[in-house]
Amino acid sequence: MPQVAITLAEGRSPEQIRALLHAVHTAVLRTTNTKPEYIRVVVHEVPRSHWATGDVTLTEMDATASPEEPQS
């Protein structure tokens, strides 16, 4: 029974999360010998203030980022 855990910073729309769940489920189904109902995909969303890279939180990075930069 495959189980996939994905951790993302908060900020994606419900539609983006749903598309991610579908794409991952499809990839697991295509590459493993299992039934669709046995595949588990879980998305954990972490507040941007609780995720740091190089001792700088994503919230702090957002405050200094230019508008064109994609979200982490």
Nearest in space to 44 (alpha carbons), one of 9, 15, 72:
9
> What is the per-residue pLDDT for 34?
96
| Confidence (pTM) | 0.84
Question: CA 72 to CA 32: how far, in whole Å?
Answer: 29
For the chain, give the percent of residues with pLDDT over 90: 89
* Phi, psi angle pair for 66, to nearest 5°: -80, 155
Average pLDDT, the chain: 94
Number of residues in the chain = 72
Question: CA 14 to CA 16: how far, in whole Å?
Answer: 5
